[in-house]
């Protein structure tokens, strides 16, 4: 039986099998072409053995080339599988290329010596001399090449990692035989020769994959108790998006300085590139929270020129704005001018950043808010969804029922922009109503009229009081709640 009629059918079946395997496992795709040509080469070799085809070195070269390509590619796939199993990732492309080049060179040398009678000794001597010349001329390139092989073998970083090498920091975008390309924070491309990378310590911010932590310092004047500052900083963390849940942020006192007390805020991040945004958010929210709680930062010494006399005369003080605004609030209509001035002295100014939650639906509270400047958004849960009901601006107010009756909040109010508020709580209003108990009757009448004029939910969104029923009964219930709340 002819050798050809054994090799070709078996080779055809195996080629189909390899093609099917490549379809299931794309990694075997590079083997399909060389395997098919190797089958044809073996068939041609069978013709030579049977004497049907004259043997020649060139025919032998055509037969050996597909076999060499198939062998090198199969070795490369096997190397990648072993490397991936041991290291957990694919081998670097540069290392895979170097191994393939070495195998092709070794195979070409064996073919040239074994079948073509080329003397390798002379070739090696010539190659050594040529290599020495090229080595002197290309020593920097060769250093980069071997440094790149070492870096990719040890794999201190991978594509997409954030690294710091010397004074350079960036995200790895490309690793070649000569250099590594980084993308800096400014979006610029930085190309670092591999030999420079090999000479410096490499700090990889992306390994391991667990949350990483960073630390920022905040200095506060030493007249504020440390426990208060720590509590304020811990209270702003829930408003910072992107913080890793475990481990949580930590605030600690790190020392006393001439300018104040220094606090260290250590916070975790899921990815390294988020840290700048998170740090900026912490500093931004710290300013608002410190301002609301009366915590002051050390002020630098500077010379401030007094404003021109015209500007000083034209500027209206916050106290004047508050007194003017109170005259337009019907709840304070029953108060005399002296009582209104006394009430104004008990207000305090607070500042909220845009997006911060001022009050939350269902939460307890006893504060009344008067908007000095800015805008707030009022929303309420309806049918399981949050629905915006109103937007309040300068001179408008909310939270009167919480102040006068202590009822829980019936809506959520969020700062739609940076907003300045005047706030009055129960303790600030206690002395006023205690000195004039009859005021409760007038205030209850005003509240009853407001409840009757405004919608139960959509207009009067900051209270829970049921305004349905006889107006006299509504007023009586309101009066009783006010008296019980203030004990008058």
| 3-state secondary structure string across 225-260 | CHHHHHHHHHHHHHHCCCECCCCCCEEEEEEECCCC
Kindly state whether residue 182 falls inside one of the protein's structural domains: yes
Entry pTM: 0.57
Q: Do 456 and 369 share a structural domain?
A: yes
Kindly report the CA angle at 450 between 336 and 400, in degrees rounded to 5? 65
Cα three-residue angle 456-462-468, rounded to 5 degrees:
25
Question: According to the model, what pLDDT value does residue 435 have?
Answer: 73
Residue 30 pLDDT class (50, 70, 90 cuts): confident
Residue 108 falls inside a structural domain = yes
* Average pLDDT estimate for 229-250: 87
Task: State yes or no: cis peptide before 247, omega within 30 of 0.
Answer: yes
In terms of average pLDDT, the best of 110-114, 116-120, 459-463 is 110-114
Task: Report whether 419 contacts 373 (CB < 8 A).
Answer: yes
**For 310-469, where are the E strands, in sequence order?**
348-352, 357-359, 367-373, 376-382, 385-392, 397-398, 412-415, 419-425
Q: Which two tokens stand for residue 416?
A: 């739609």
- Among the candidates 118, 133, 160, a domain finishes at 118
DSSP reduced 3-state for 358:
strand
Same structural domain for residues 43 and 106? yes
pLDDT of 453 over the 60 cut: no
- Does residue 181 sit within a domain? yes
425 contacts: CB under 8 Å, gap ≥ 6: 366, 367, 368, 403
The pLDDT, as a whole number, for residue 93 is: 67
The β-bridge partners of 243 are 269
Closest Cα to residue 361, out of 408, 404, 423?
Answer: 408
231 and 162 in a common domain: no
- Taking the C-alpha atoms of residue 459 and residue 480, their distance in angstroms, rounded to an integer, is 24
More confident residue, 102 or 134: 102
Looking from the CA of 452 toward its CB, the CA atoms found within 13 Å total: 14
Mean pLDDT over 460-465 rounds to 45
Contact between 243 and 237 under an 8 Å Cβ cutoff? The reply is yes
Which bin fits 249, alpha (ψ -120 to 50), beta or left (φ > 0)? Answer: beta
Confidence at 375, pLDDT banded by 50, 70, 90: very high
Supply the angle between the helices 318-327 and 337-345 in degrees, to the nearest 10.
130
Instruction: Count Cα atoms within 13 angstroms, Cβ side, for 20.
Output: 6
Look at residue 300 and tell me if it is in a domain: no
Residue 470 buriedness (CB in 10 A; 0-12 / 13-18 / 19+): exposed
Report yes or no: 414 and 358 within 8 Å, Cβ to Cβ: yes
Q: Both 377 and 430 in a single domain? A: yes
Backbone angles phi, psi at 442, to 5 degrees: -65, -40
CB 444, CB 400: distance < 8 Å = no
Residue 252 sits in the same domain as residue 366: no
| CA neighbours closer than 13 Å in the CB half-sphere of residue 229 | 24
117 pLDDT band, cuts 50/70/90, is low
Give per-residue pLDDT as tens, 291-314: 888 888 887 655 566 666 554 455
The pLDDT value recorded for residue 301 is 57
For residue 92, being part of any structural domain is answered with yes
Give pLDDT, residue 265: 93
Q: What is the pLDDT of residues 327-339, one digit of tens each?
A: 888 777 777 788 7
- Residue 30 or residue 417, greater confidence: 417
All residues at 6 or more sequence positions from 410 whose CB lies less than 8 Å from its CB, including other chains:
361, 380, 401, 461, 462, 463, 464
Residues 6+ apart with CB under 8 A from 485: 404, 405, 406, 426
Same domain? 355 vs 462: yes
H/E element, 112: helix 93-116
Distance, CA of 477 to CA of 136 (rounded, Å): 99
One domain for residues 446 and 466? yes
Instruction: Find, among 327, 472, 450, 323, the residue nearest to 398 by Cα.
Output: 450
Sign of the torsion formed by the C-alpha atoms of 280, 285, 291 and 296:
negative
**478 shares its domain with 423:** yes
270 or 306: which leads in pLDDT: 270
Q: pLDDT at position 50, please?
A: 59
Q: What is the mean pLDDT of residues 354-374?
A: 88
Listed residues 204, 220, 240: the one ending a domain: 204
Q: Are residues 275 and 387 in the same domain?
A: no
User: At which of 160, 188, 204 does a domain end?
Assistant: 204
Write out the two tokens for 68. 């060499």
Say whether both 70 and 162 belong to one domain.
Answer: no
| Residue 421 scores a pLDDT above 70 | yes
Question: Looking at residue 231, what is its pLDDT?
Answer: 92
What does the pLDDT average to over 456-460?
Answer: 44
Phi/psi for 416 (5° steps) reads -80, -20
The answer to whether position 198 is within a domain reads yes
Residue 271 structure tokens: 């990815």
Share of the chain above pLDDT 90, in %: 10
Look at residue 49 and tell me whether its pLDDT is greater than 70: no
Give the residue numbers spanning the domain of 199.
152-204
Give the residue, 351 or 107, on which the prediction is more confident: 351
pLDDT bracket for residue 390 (50, 70, 90)? confident
The CA distance from 365 to 30, in Å, is 71
d(CA 182, CA 235) in angstroms, rounded, equals 38
Same domain? For 331 and 470 the reply is: yes
Tokens 């001179």, located at residue: 395
Strand order in the sheet with 179-183: 189-193, 179-183, 168-175, 162-165, 202-204
CATH number for position 163: 2.30.30.60
Q: What is the pLDDT of residue 217?
A: 92
Domain count along the chain: 4
In tens, the pLDDT along 429-439 reads 887 777 777 77
Q: Cβ–Cβ contacts within 10 Å for residue 157, how many?
A: 24
Of all residues in the chain, what percent carry a pLDDT higher than 70?
74
**Rounded to an integer, what distance in angstroms lies between the CA atom of residue 453 and that of residue 463?**
14
Residue 38 falls inside a structural domain: yes
What is the phi/psi pair of residue 252, to 5°? -145, 155
Q: What is the pLDDT of residues 164-218, one digit of tens each?
A: 888 888 998 887 767 888 998 888 888 888 777 777 788 888 888 778 888 999 9
């Amino acid at each position: 039986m002819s050798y050809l009629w054994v090799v070709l059918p078996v080779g055809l079946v195996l080629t189909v099998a390899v093609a099917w395997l490549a379809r299931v496992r794309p990694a075997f795709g590079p083997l399909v072409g060389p395997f098919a040509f190797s089958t044809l080469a073996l068939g041609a070799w069978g013709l030579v053995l049977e004497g049907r085809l004259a043997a020649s070195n060139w025919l032998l070269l055509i037969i050996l080339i597909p076999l060499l390509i198939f062998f090198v590619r199969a070795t490369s796939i096997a190397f990648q599988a072993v490397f991936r199993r041991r290291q957990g990732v694919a081998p670097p492309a540069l290392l895979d290329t170097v191994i393939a080049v070495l195998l092709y060179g070794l195979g070409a040398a064996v073919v040239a010596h074994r079948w073509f009678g080329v003397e390798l000794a002379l070739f090696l001597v010539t190659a050594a001399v040529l290599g020495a010349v090229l080595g002197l001329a290309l020593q920097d390139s060769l250093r980069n090449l071997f440094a790149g092989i070492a870096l990719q073998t040890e794999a201190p970083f991978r594509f997409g990692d954030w690294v710091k090498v010397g004074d350079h920091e960036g995200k790895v975008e490309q690793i070649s035989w000569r250099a590594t390309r980084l993308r800096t924070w400014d979006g610029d491309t930085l190309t670092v020769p591999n030999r420079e990378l090999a000479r410096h310590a490499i700090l990889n911010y992306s390994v391991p994959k667990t949350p990483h932590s960073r630390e920022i310092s905040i200095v506060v004047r030493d007249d504020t108790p440390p426990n208060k500052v720590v509590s304020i900083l811990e209270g702003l963390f829930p408003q910072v998006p992107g913080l890793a849940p475990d481990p949580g942020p930590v605030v600690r006192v790190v020392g006393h300085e001439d300018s104040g007390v220094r606090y260290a805020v250590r916070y975790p991040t899921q990815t390294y590139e988020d840290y700048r945004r998170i740090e900026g958010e912490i500093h931004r929210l710290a300013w608002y929270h410190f301002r609301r709680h009366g915590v002051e930062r050390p002020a630098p010494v500077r010379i401030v020129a007094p404003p021109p006399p015209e500007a000083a005369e034209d500027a209206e003080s916050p106290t004047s704005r508050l007194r003017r605004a109170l005259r337009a609030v019907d709840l304070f209509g029953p108060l005399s001018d002296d009582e209104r001035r006394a009430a104004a002295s008990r207000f305090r100014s607070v500042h909220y950043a845009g997006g911060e939650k001022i009050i939350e639906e269902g939460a307890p509270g006893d504060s009344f808010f008067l908007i000095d400047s800015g805008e707030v958004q009022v929303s309420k849960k309806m049918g399981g969804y949050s629905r915006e009901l109103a937007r309040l601006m300068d001179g408008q107010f909310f939270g009167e029922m919480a102040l006068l009756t202590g009822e829980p909040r019936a809506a959520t109010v969020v700062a739609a922009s940076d907003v300045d508020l005047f706030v009055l709580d129960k303790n600030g209003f206690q002395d006023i109503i205690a000195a004039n108990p009859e005021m409760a009757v007038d205030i209850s009448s005003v509240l009853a009229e407001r409840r009757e004029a405004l919608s139960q939910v959509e207009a009067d969104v900051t209270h829970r009081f049921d305004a349905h029923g006889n107006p006299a009964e509504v007023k009586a219930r309101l009066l009783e709640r006010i008296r019980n709340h203030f004990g008058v």
